[in-house]
Structure 1
Amino acid sequence: MKILHTVESYLPAMHGMQKVVQQISEKLVLLGHEVTIATKFSSERLDLIINGVGIQSFKLSGNSVEGINGTQDEKDRYINFIINGNFDIVSNFAAQQWATDILLPHLDRIKSKKIFIPTGFSKLNDSRYQSYYNNMGDWLKNYDCNIFLSDDYQDINFAREHGVEKLTVIANAASYDEFFGLKDDDIRQSLKIGNDEFLLLIVGSHTGLKGHSEAMSIYRRANIINSTLLIVGNHTLYKSFFKTILINLLKEILNFFSFITKKKYVSSCYHSCSIKARWYNFLFYLKSNKKKIIVKDFNRIDTLRAYSAADLFLFPSNIECSPLVLFEAMASKTPFLASSAGNSVEIAALTKGGLILPTIKKEDGYSNVKINESVKLLENLYENNHLRADLQRNGYDSWLNFYTWEIITKQYESLYLTLLS
């Protein structure tokens, strides 16, 4: 098959949607198919073929509601590339971003089999997106199939309410190649974490919505001595070393009192996390309770090592669709405690690999964990070695049998072939 996957951004950018598209695309290549990615231009992308996957880049960004950045000529070039590309399959990954939004009014012009993977409709309850979602029901019907990551989340429920019949569910996953036989390779030693210390891990970009602040609040209150909370997430670096220092210093100053006021003065989750960690570590030192918080920006290899070393994965996120990190935690034999954001409840029920923190879901679609109740659940799980072992075993077995990218990619391949036949 000649397959095109469209995604907002791709390697060297690193984020959840990029990981999904990369895993599926590269494994489809290994199965003998020709796969191309249409994505945003990056000056740091040096190769037009990455691990067998072709890259076509466009100087476009944004979305149709908040504005698509780029010239009309570039938009036309993107549309014509897809219409005239003679692809068997065109799959649009994620709504609310330019690579999908530009195509929505032109779906009837695309003769390839068209697949849409909405990934959550995170702005469904945002009034600014009302017109966008007023049209979404008709757009969904113009696709040959719509793939949802959960059987009970707002995107698939929206589709059903609007009479969309061409839909299926294919879950997220974690890579067998990355996680099978994974070892921590002394990551504890490099971070000065004792082998007898209880290690809690949270992995998520510093967007301000991945639950870093909540994780620190839960951990600070929890009676878990001789332990470490490790926060792993990427943050912005600038090409100029001096610009990086200056911008980071200004953000540090502006956000210095954010841990008191609860107000984020600039978008700087990484720096807020760093400040809070230093303050809490000072309090831990005064109490002599052998607790500490470490904030790190790891590469992928070190992130995998951290997964392997962790005793528990803590993920009180505010907004998700189907969190990849829960599958990665299970693949690393690490039980999880997560908010109910996205389809985390469904993942926990299907895999028995973790527990759900008491969570309040707001009308705007965002979630907030109940801190005090979450503290009690964390303390109970910390004390219950047998339950943690059961969750670890259940989650790993479920991942290995049902949720590797190798298994999931074959489900995509089967769907693609069925549509073509």
Structure 2
Amino acid sequence: MNPLKILITTEQYPPILSGVATVVSELANALSRQGHSITIATKKITGRESVASSNIRIVEFNIQGNFGSFYRGETKAYIDFVLSSDADVIINECTQTWNTDLLLPYLDQIHAVKVLHSHGFSLLAFESRNPWANLKAKIYYGSLTKYLKKYNHVLILSNNASELPFFKRQQFINYDILPNGVPEHLIAKSSKIIGDKPYLLSISNYYPMKNQEFVLRAYYQSDVSAKLIFIGAAQLHDYLAQLKALKQSLDKQYGWKDVEFLYGISRKETEDYLKASALFLHGSKLEAFPIVILEAMATGTPFVCTNVGNVKNLKGGKIIHNESEMAQAITNLLKDKSQYVRYSQLGIDEVSMQYNWKAITHKLSSILGLTN
């Protein structure tokens, strides 16, 4: 396998804390370890120096705006940079982001192998409250098919991806599945057993779409007294304050329960909390392939999750559809030790076989024809 020059364009990259940023970082590092030369073209933010790597070149562009508004700033410099790149492979991460959208009219001028790595067509799966964004989405997706055909490869996350109904309507078949994954160091060697002082854990940015209030209500409806810990990397729309107010209200309704809201803790601390937790709870309204569920599975922590994205196809926990079902699942899993251990081991086994970055990078290399 000859080393290649690979350019990855992404709006989100560490130190930004998000699922997409994690995926891109892990893929870039894994491809770099294979001997490829990696360049990241991304948004200029403060603090990026802390994640700079001697093996990965990072080129930043001061571009603002988001889908539903318009892109402004160093847009021309970004387009010129990509068009003049000598990369063998260019990977555009996500649609509905400036790093991909700005390049769509210029795809014919890019002679490298072109890859679109989609993380879900979110506005097809969940309508925005912004009417202009919905109108723009209709126009955007109306013209997207002609651009998709200009890519050598289109990658989606799973067999339940939100892109598939659109692909079927447009009779688009040139896609492959590349799942999300976890680093190998996170994978437990054996199944968990419930400790003397178990606690429940939920990890997501504090944001209404992540729906921590659903988890909080379900927890209070359950019969368990174990502590519940929330961990979030960002606070949006004063949602954390709303959750704390809801906790006070639920204390009056059900009686006091031990709930802790953590914010701004390190990645290492977050992993330690996950490794020691008894159950992982996730109430999100919209996901494509939530990495936090895979991370729970890797550590042998059974999950209880809403029916979002592809989670129903994962073996390390239970899917629920309402608060009372989550409450019952919490109660049952902590009481039924044999079922608990079974879910714990199933999660570890599934991640070990296919949802780790070593396996995923090998699959990407195979898709791109980089392996024999």
TM normalised by structure 1 equals 0.80
Quickly say closer, same or farther: Cα 1:211–1:130, change in 2 above 3 A: same
Q: Secondary structure at the match of 2:28?
A: helix
Q: Which residue number corresponds to residue 78 of structure 1?
A: 78
The separation in 2 between residues aligned to 1:86 and 1:339, in whole angstroms, is 44
Q: Is the 8 A contact 1:336 1:354 kept in 2?
A: yes
Amino acid at match of 2:36: H
Q: Secondary structure at the match of 1:50?
A: coil
Residue 411 of structure 1 pairs with residue 335 of structure 2: no
Residue 296 of structure 1 pairs with residue 262 of structure 2: yes
Amino acid at match of 1:151: N
Q: Is the 8 A contact 1:61 1:97 kept in 2?
A: no
Q: Is the 8 A contact 2:279 2:301 kept in 1?
A: yes
Shift of 1:376: 2.3
The separation in 1 between residues aligned to 2:170 and 2:223, in whole angstroms, is 48
Shift of 1:200: 1.1
Residue 131 of structure 1 pairs with residue 123 of structure 2: no
Quickly say closer, same or farther: Cα 1:79–1:329, change in 2 above 3 A: same
Residue 141 of structure 1 pairs with residue 104 of structure 2: no
TM normalised by structure 2 equals 0.90
Q: Which residue number corresponds to residue 301 of structure 2?
A: 334
Deviations 1:202-261 (CA, angstroms, capped at 9, x unpaired): 111112211211000000111112x0111111125xxxxxxxxxxxxxxxxxxxxxxxxx
**Structure 1, 303-312 or 43-52: larger mean CA deviation:** 43-52
Q: Which residue number corresponds to residue 37 of structure 1?
A: 40
Q: Which residue number corresponds to residue 207 of structure 2?
A: 207
The separation in 2 between residues aligned to 1:47 and 1:356, in whole angstroms, is 38
Q: Which residue number corresponds to residue 228 of structure 2?
A: 229
Map 1:346-385 → 2, pairs under 5 A: 346=313, 348=314, 352-358=315-321, 370-385=322-337
Deviations 1:93-138 (CA, angstroms, capped at 9, x unpaired): 1111111111112111111111111211011254321101111122
Quickly say closer, same or farther: Cα 1:308–1:401, change in 2 above 3 A: same
Counterpart selection for 1:19 from 6, 22, 33: 22
**Structure 1, 371-380 or 291-300: larger mean CA deviation:** 371-380
Amino acid at match of 1:131: I
Shift of 1:404: 0.9
**Structure 1, 41-50 or 405-414: larger mean CA deviation:** 41-50
Shift of 1:48: 8.6
Map 1:383-394 → 2, pairs under 5 A: 383-394=335-346
The separation in 2 between residues aligned to 1:341 and 1:324, in whole angstroms, is 12
% same residue: 27
Quickly say closer, same or farther: Cα 1:44–1:335, change in 2 above 3 A: same
Q: Which residue number corresponds to residue 395 of structure 1?
A: 347
The separation in 2 between residues aligned to 1:83 and 1:204, in whole angstroms, is 37
The separation in 2 between residues aligned to 1:82 and 1:180, in whole angstroms, is 41
Quickly say closer, same or farther: Cα 1:180–1:378, change in 2 above 3 A: closer
Quickly say closer, same or farther: Cα 1:379–1:130, change in 2 above 3 A: same
Q: Which residue number corresponds to residue 130 of structure 2?
A: none
Shift of 1:357: 0.6
Map 1:34-113 → 2, pairs under 5 A: 34-46=37-49, 49-50=52-53, 52-70=55-73, 74-113=74-113
In structure 1, runs of 5+ residues without a counterpart are 185-193, 237-265, 359-369
Shift of 1:382: 2.6
The separation in 2 between residues aligned to 1:36 and 1:417, in whole angstroms, is 20
Shift of 1:283: 6.2
Shift of 1:67: 1.4
Q: CA RMSD in A?
A: 2.4
Shift of 1:354: 1.0
Shift of 1:314: 0.7
Deviations 1:263-309 (CA, angstroms, capped at 9, x unpaired): xxx8112222233335545666xx46xx3111102210111011111
The separation in 2 between residues aligned to 1:304 and 1:124, in whole angstroms, is 33
Q: Secondary structure at the match of 2:228?
A: strand
The separation in 2 between residues aligned to 1:315 and 1:178, in whole angstroms, is 19
The separation in 2 between residues aligned to 1:78 and 1:54, in whole angstroms, is 15
Residue 3 of structure 1 pairs with residue 6 of structure 2: yes
The separation in 2 between residues aligned to 1:278 and 1:27, in whole angstroms, is 45
The separation in 1 between residues aligned to 2:366 and 2:237, in whole angstroms, is 42
Q: Is the 8 A contact 2:187 2:352 kept in 1?
A: no
Quickly say closer, same or farther: Cα 1:92–1:292, change in 2 above 3 A: same
Deviations 1:162-185 (CA, angstroms, capped at 9, x unpaired): 122221001111110344569x9x
Deviations 1:347-373 (CA, angstroms, capped at 9, x unpaired): x2xxx2111012xxxxxxxxxxx2223
Q: Secondary structure at the match of 2:209?
A: coil
The separation in 2 between residues aligned to 1:282 and 1:196, in whole angstroms, is 27
Q: Is the 8 A contact 2:188 2:348 kept in 1?
A: no
Amino acid at match of 2:34: L
In structure 2, runs of 5+ residues without a counterpart are 128-133
Residue 276 of structure 1 pairs with residue 246 of structure 2: yes
Shift of 1:58: 0.3
Deviations 1:132-154 (CA, angstroms, capped at 9, x unpaired): 11111222111111001011222
Q: Secondary structure at the match of 1:35?
A: strand
Count residues with an aligned counterpart: 359
Q: Secondary structure at the match of 1:36?
A: strand
The separation in 1 between residues aligned to 2:358 and 2:206, in whole angstroms, is 29
Q: Which residue number corresponds to residue 151 of structure 1?
A: 159
